[in-house]
Structure 1
Amino acid sequence: MGQPDRRGLPTGSGSAAARDAVDTALWRMMSFYDVPLADLDAARAADDGWCLPHLMHAGFLLSLTEPALVPEAAAQLQAAEDRLRPDTPERERAHHAALQQVLEGRWAQAGRLWDQLLQEHPRDALALQWAHLWDFYRGDASQLRARPARVLPEWEAGDPLYPCVLGLYAFGLEENHEYAAAEDIGRQALAADPRVPWAVHAVAHVMEMQGRFDDGSAWLRQQQGQWAEGNGFAVHLWWHKALFRLEAMDLAGVLRLVDKHLSGDALQVTLNRVDAAAMLWRLHLHGTDVAERCAQLAAGWDLDPAHAGHYAFNDLHAVLALLAADDVARAEHWVARCAQRALAADDVRRDNHAMAREVGLPLMRGMLALARGDADGAVDALYPARQQAQRFGGSHAQRDLIDQTLLAAAARGQRRALGRALLNERRMAKPATPLTRHWIEQLGDGEMARA
């Protein structure tokens, strides 16, 4: 007979040891301190008939967006299904149904199922965490803010996971341009518990969006003792630190951070490699020779052609690594495989493949055009895709890579007027940083440079 967990949520386990192990695993998933697999093993050892540890194992693997991990995730999901019993709570059945949708590529439908679950159980942090991640992967900024907002009043401030929920809300506020509120909520989360890297991350995003690159570097340095060691979010926060140095046009500083924290053994999963590729591509746009580094990055990437098209956001960054390594032929082949999968009859209704067809492939083709020396062709492909790039996933800061590439293409080709328009938009959003002034100079706009 199942007993409630420490938040009063129904579970299918009567083992306190199993429930405690699952709660620890949940904290690890929300805080990124180590991976939850050992805790889930402990939960299974304490109660082998409980489906939830298998569901959490499957969801964790799927959340890494690694195509090579999908078979293991499917096996864990099947193991969970095998353990569904007549008395299994509807809450756990709902998690199973949502993860099945994720496995099949119907991410928006999974989000709808988790939303229904959160209406009944607003303190189901597992549902909130997973929905938030796939909202992020789908670029659904509205839900990134609204979903945590719908549940936060139901939480008690003393709950150990409450600061993590605040961190999710802070990031959602930032992605909806509510910067003052986002910074305030992020700081509140860290005052309650300094071990909430998602909140550190949210405040760093605010500072990036406001052009506060020196503040941002100082902020990450102040918090570094909490996130830099033993935390799965460390690579991404080092990426943010490099982004602040790039905004200051300290290219040598960016390269030092890349070599120390965004290369080699630090890159354990594709999400880490995406950060490395994104930063190396930005350096490449500024004329820094990163070909050897990108070749090493691509050598450690899962670029099995059978895995092309798994997630469009990652696919684009794989292309960037190949292009900056001057491996244009292989990049073209990867794009062709992505297109083949996105247009396959059995995939066209899946969320990621719609994203790939309508956003990912045009972006990749624009990057290929730039690599071939066709700057105006790159603009023709990239600029229309930019208008719907949010659907592509990631954050505003990550998608700024599109604008950086457009500015480089405008500076190299005949589309100077577009470059000026993009810079005008940028200057209205935040102060003219050294990076912005660099692009003004590259575009040769004397009047704008004097403004």
Structure 2
Amino acid sequence: MNDVRGNALGTASASARDAVEKALWRMMSFYDVPMADLDLAIAADPAWPLPHVMKAGFLLSLTEPALVPEAQTHLERARPLMARGTPREQAHFAAVEQVADGRWHGACRIWDELLIDHPRDALALQWGQLWDFYRGDAAGLRLRPARALPAWDEADPLFPCVLALYAFGLEENNLYAQAEEAGRHALDIDARVPWAVHAVAHVMEMQGRFEEGNTWLRQHQPVWAEGNGFAGHLWWHKALFRLEALDVAGALRIVDKQLSGDALQITLQRLDAAAMLWRLHLLGHDMSAACATLLAGWDTSEGSAGYYAFNDVHLVVTMLAAGEVSRAEAWVARCAERALDGADARRANHVLAREVGLPLLRGLLAFGRGEHDSAADALYAVRGQLQRLGGSHAQRDLVDLTLLSAAARGMRRALGQALVRERLMAKPATPMTRHWMDALEML
């Protein structure tokens, strides 16, 4: 039996096939989680390994260290069934095993090779995009879907989802006009593609089109704001547009209503809250109470430190904004211990943490201690390597904003002014940029 794209499946059950297809759509559109659909697939064909592999991959995609054991349990359930899996399904199993073992680069190589022979493998495209994003591989974000898209039929229900992957990859490679065109085209085909809404929002953020971006998200809000796991991140983008306009009250309203309390169920959602609270902190607003509340729900258990440097950065700035400098220092020390542990060298995050994560974290600690010149020097030194941290240009802008704040508060005014000039070449002088121009005595 084949799926709707002609990929061979290791099942003869139409019910199992259809349940997996529904789960795949959920994974690409973020409408609810895929676990119940995968349970239906397992019930329809208990000997088919792919649903177990998909469960494991989905859990790992949340970047939660606490979920790794559960993901490994699903992989162990799949292992004795893999002889029945097709070569494509066996490759997915191998890739997800690599992810579970911290070897993210190896997983992406497997998905790359898989897509050469199976360009219509939507699961490989989705997972490849996520782990390219986590690894900061901008080229992969664009080129992997670019290699696959010409092989797709535009009538395929998942085509707009794949086009949205391409749109985001174009944006992260600064190809803004093409990215916006692809994102809008995806939404013309199917309005229920939040990743396409997201790609166009990123274009508008990078071009300083903050009022247009706010309107864009509001226009599509009925589709993404309810029943969608990606809603929190799009609310973060909406708050980001308000902050670019220096509408602090508007940004705070979004934080209070959409980026706090029960809205924060997983680390990926806490990252958005942390990123916004830190930006407000840099503007001089006391966010200590909100940050303390955010920390209370964060997994700070022993095994979490050093799992993924991008997450560590957001946790540390939350600690600093909460006024818990000693706690932040202790966390960074735990991250360093893990990064320098030779037994952990196989992890993709090992070299990243040592070469990018730790220097960045130490620069942030210096900022938190009020050592602004040291912070500016440390952050500027690592700035050229930031893409390796993972995330998007918009998310990593947190570091540049911290650098601007450190320069304005210390003696590195010339450095801060140079960074503002760089910013002005990329997008118009928004109210946020003018704020930093004023702080750096450029007005």
**Which bin holds the TM-score, normalised by the shorter protein?**
over 0.9
User: 1:23-172 to 2 correspondence within 5 Å?
Assistant: 23-85=21-83, 87-172=84-169
User: 1:218-233 to 2 correspondence within 5 Å?
Assistant: 218-233=215-230
SS in 2 for 1:346: helix
After superposition, the C-alpha distances for 1:380-401 in whole angstroms (9 at most, x for unaligned) are 2111111100000000000000
Measured after TM superposition, the shift of residue 33 of structure 1 is 0.1
Q: Distance in 2 between matches of 1:138 and 1:132?
A: 10
Alignment-mate amino acid for residue 234 of structure 2: L
Q: Distance in 2 between matches of 1:254 and 1:443?
A: 24
Q: Distance in 2 between matches of 1:326 and 1:354?
A: 30
Measured after TM superposition, the shift of residue 354 of structure 1 is 1.1
1:245 to 242, 245, 256: 242
Q: Which residue of 2 aligns with 1:409?
A: 406
After superposition, the C-alpha distances for 1:34-64 in whole angstroms (9 at most, x for unaligned) are 0000000000000000000000000000000
User: 1:252-267 to 2 correspondence within 5 Å?
Assistant: 252-267=249-264
1:272 to 262, 269, 280: 269
Which deviates the most, 252-261 or 198-207? 252-261
Kindly indicate whether the alpha-carbon contact (under 8 Å) linking 2:65 and 2:303 is maintained by their aligned counterparts in 1.
Answer: no
1:9 to 3, 7, 13: 7
Q: Distance in 2 between matches of 1:55 and 1:392?
A: 27
Measured after TM superposition, the shift of residue 6 of structure 1 is 1.4
Alignment-mate amino acid for residue 391 of structure 1: R
Measured after TM superposition, the shift of residue 349 of structure 1 is 3.2
What is the count of residue pairs matched by the alignment?
Answer: 443
Q: Which residue of 2 aligns with 1:334?
A: 331
SS in 1 for 2:102: coil
User: 1:170-319 to 2 correspondence within 5 Å?
Assistant: 170-319=167-316
Q: Distance in 2 between matches of 1:235 and 1:124?
A: 28
Q: Distance in 1 between matches of 2:398 and 2:229?
A: 23
Measured after TM superposition, the shift of residue 305 of structure 1 is 2.5
After superposition, the C-alpha distances for 1:68-117 in whole angstroms (9 at most, x for unaligned) are 000000110111112112x4210011001111111111111111110110
SS in 2 for 1:277: helix
1:343 to 340, 343, 367: 340
Measured after TM superposition, the shift of residue 24 of structure 1 is 0.1
Q: Distance in 1 between matches of 2:316 and 2:335?
A: 11
Structure 1: 5+ residue runs without aligned partners?
none
Kindly indicate whether the alpha-carbon contact (under 8 Å) linking 2:50 and 2:85 is maintained by their aligned counterparts in 1.
Answer: no
Measured after TM superposition, the shift of residue 337 of structure 1 is 0.5
Q: Distance in 2 between matches of 1:50 and 1:145?
A: 32
1:384 aligns with 2:356: no
Q: Distance in 2 between matches of 1:212 and 1:304?
A: 40
Kindly indicate whether the alpha-carbon contact (under 8 Å) linking 1:369 and 1:377 is maintained by their aligned counterparts in 2.
Answer: yes
Q: Distance in 2 between matches of 1:242 and 1:52?
A: 39
Kindly indicate whether the alpha-carbon contact (under 8 Å) linking 2:108 and 2:128 is maintained by their aligned counterparts in 1.
Answer: yes
After superposition, the C-alpha distances for 1:12-46 in whole angstroms (9 at most, x for unaligned) are 11100000000000000000000000000000000
Kindly indicate whether the alpha-carbon contact (under 8 Å) linking 1:322 and 1:328 is maintained by their aligned counterparts in 2.
Answer: yes
Alignment-mate amino acid for residue 271 of structure 1: L
Q: Distance in 1 between matches of 2:81 and 2:234?
A: 39
After superposition, the C-alpha distances for 1:216-240 in whole angstroms (9 at most, x for unaligned) are 0000000000000000000000000
Q: Distance in 2 between matches of 1:57 and 1:346?
A: 28
SS in 2 for 1:211: coil
SS in 2 for 1:6: coil
After superposition, the C-alpha distances for 1:317-370 in whole angstroms (9 at most, x for unaligned) are 000111100011111111111111111111123211211111111111111101
Q: Distance in 1 between matches of 2:400 and 2:303?
A: 30
Measured after TM superposition, the shift of residue 306 of structure 1 is 2.4
Q: Which residue of 1 aligns with 2:322?
A: 325
SS in 1 for 2:82: coil
Q: Distance in 1 between matches of 2:410 and 2:4?
A: 61
Q: Distance in 1 between matches of 2:85 and 2:407?
A: 59
Kindly indicate whether the alpha-carbon contact (under 8 Å) linking 1:262 and 1:275 is maintained by their aligned counterparts in 2.
Answer: yes
SS in 2 for 1:84: helix
The alignment yields a C-alpha RMSD, in angstroms, of 0.7
Q: Distance in 2 between matches of 1:229 and 1:312?
A: 30
SS in 1 for 2:31: coil
SS in 1 for 2:344: coil
Alignment-mate amino acid for residue 105 of structure 2: A
Kindly indicate whether the alpha-carbon contact (under 8 Å) linking 1:305 and 1:334 is maintained by their aligned counterparts in 2.
Answer: no
Identity %: 68
Alignment-mate amino acid for residue 386 of structure 1: R
Alignment-mate amino acid for residue 197 of structure 1: P
Dislocated runs of 4+, deviation >3 Å:
none
After superposition, the C-alpha distances for 1:247-275 in whole angstroms (9 at most, x for unaligned) are 00111111111011000000111000000
Alignment-mate amino acid for residue 103 of structure 2: R
Alignment-mate amino acid for residue 332 of structure 1: E
Measured after TM superposition, the shift of residue 379 of structure 1 is 1.0
Q: Distance in 1 between matches of 2:346 and 2:35?
A: 32
After superposition, the C-alpha distances for 1:118-141 in whole angstroms (9 at most, x for unaligned) are 011100000110011000000000
Q: Distance in 2 between matches of 1:279 and 1:206?
A: 19
Q: Distance in 1 between matches of 2:270 and 2:302?
A: 17
Which deviates the most, 305-314 or 12-21? 305-314
Which deviates the most, 380-389 or 25-34? 380-389
Alignment-mate amino acid for residue 223 of structure 2: Q
SS in 2 for 1:177: coil
Kindly indicate whether the alpha-carbon contact (under 8 Å) linking 1:312 and 1:353 is maintained by their aligned counterparts in 2.
Answer: no
